[in-house]
Amino acid sequence: MPTSKPAPDCAPAALAPDPFRQLLDEVGAFVYTTDLQGRYTYANRLVLELLGHALDDVVGKDTTHFFGEAGNEALRENDARVLRGGETIAREESNLIMATGELRTYWSLKKPLRDAAGNIIGMLGISHDITEKKRLEDRVRKQKELLDTVLDNVDALVYMKDTHRRFIYANQHVAEALGQPVERIIGRLDTEVLPREVADKFWALDQKIFATGQRHAGEEALVDGDGRWRHFWSVVVPLSAPDGTPAVIGLSTDITELHELKEELKRQASTDALTGLANRRSFWERAGHEFARSRRHGTALSLIAIDIDHFKRLNDSFGHLAGDRVLREFAACCRDMLRDGDLCARTGGEEFCVLLPDTDLAGAMHIAERIRALTASLCLDDQGQRLRVSASFGVASLGAGDEDFDALFARADRALYGAKQQGRDRISSGR
């Protein structure tokens, strides 16, 4: 910033004749010259207003007279580099005004003044007051730091994307979810940081929001940096980016644990706790759907009804723990013999049903025989006693006259009764 007074052979008028002084007073910058001792030799109107003195009171005095010794060490060091070292410097400087105690900030250009022989005789300085700009920048920086702190500690993924699928902002939670640092996400396309299929799905939603201007809320899922599926409740809203262009901002709360709990509760509600097979309620729900599908598409549907032979006697003789083991082993036999689309359910104490979509009677009889043979081969050891297990099977397939699934079930149940009447450990069909 401003400094002092010319040597006797360098009068202020020579540096700035009257027509030029008027020009320098209107340039909107602080313009000043000093001698080798740092004493002012010229100061334009803005410098004089800052110092609160007329030119005659300023010329011949150095900066310490107006700014004091304390707080301006860096400024005097810069002046020394110009006056003694002949450097030209352009940098930010701060002045502590002694009269008011105010700290002002400037962008200053300082260069040495030389005589005809090239000797340094003083310094020319041009300074622009950027105090308010710096204050604004500091406020913006502090606000950004505060906002980043808040957004990084909000328990959600927060991001912003533009109309070109490019990330404008991402908080630390987004970086952790994607397994990449924030700086590698911002400015990149969604397809560069997400699997293509996932990115395209999100982009389709973004396009809808851009087109309608309506917010979206719903559940979403993606694979995180560790390869684990994570589930989020996301709210995505349209807004303008900092440059005024359309953008979307998303806030996604991790609900993975809640989703897994919901799925587990759903599984428990539809699963037999002892065997891990479907329970009676879920069996009848699926049976109704498969019956309707078979009727709609004209496809086959078969059912196997099963009872474990003499199960009550086994329980009475060996105890309920042994009985539970038999039920689990039998369930394993059924699972081993079924396809992915088949459904095996425990529908009662020792009662089971196997639902076979797209399977005719002959195919169902074959599956029933495989389960029967595997069951008959079981030989369980219970405290030194060997338990033999067998089961009876009733098989039926969907007929043209069946008005609902109950009709199919009734025929399979009658066939099961027939197998038990015929001596058990066998298969009977109900046409």
* Ranges of each domain in the chain: 12-129, 136-258, 271-430
Specify the pLDDT at position 99. 66
Topology annotation, domain 271-430: Alpha-Beta Plaits (3.30.70)
Instruction: Give the predicted TM-score (pTM) of the model.
Output: 0.51
CATH topology of domain 136-258: Beta-Lactamase (3.30.450)
> What distance in Å separates the CA atoms of residue 34 and residue 5, rounded to the nearest whole number?
5
The answer to whether the 12-129 and 136-258 domains have the same CATH topology is yes
Cα 303 from Cα 281, distance rounded (Å): 16
d(CA 57, CA 43): 11
Q: Which of the residues 93, 220, 290, 350 is marked catalytic?
A: 350
Give pLDDT, residue 20: 78
Confidence (pLDDT) at 4: 42
* The pLDDT of residue 5: 40
Tell me, what's the pLDDT at 365? 97
Predicted pLDDT of residue 139: 82
Q: Does residue 350 carry a catalytic annotation?
A: yes
Question: 12-129 domain in CATH 3.30.450.20?
Answer: yes
Which residues of the chain are under the pLDDT cut of 70? 1-17, 70-71, 98-99, 147, 150, 225, 382-384, 431
Hunting for tokens 């539809």 — which residue is that? 270
- Based on C-alpha coordinates, what's the Rg of the chain? 44
Residue-level pLDDT at 382? 66
For residues 126 and 164, the answer to whether their CB atoms sit within 8 Å is no
Q: How far apart are CA 379 and CA 333, in angstroms?
A: 13
pLDDT at 6: 43
Instruction: Say how far apart CA 32 and CA 66 lie, in whole Å.
Output: 14
Per-residue pLDDT, 431: 66
d(CA 141, CA 148): 10
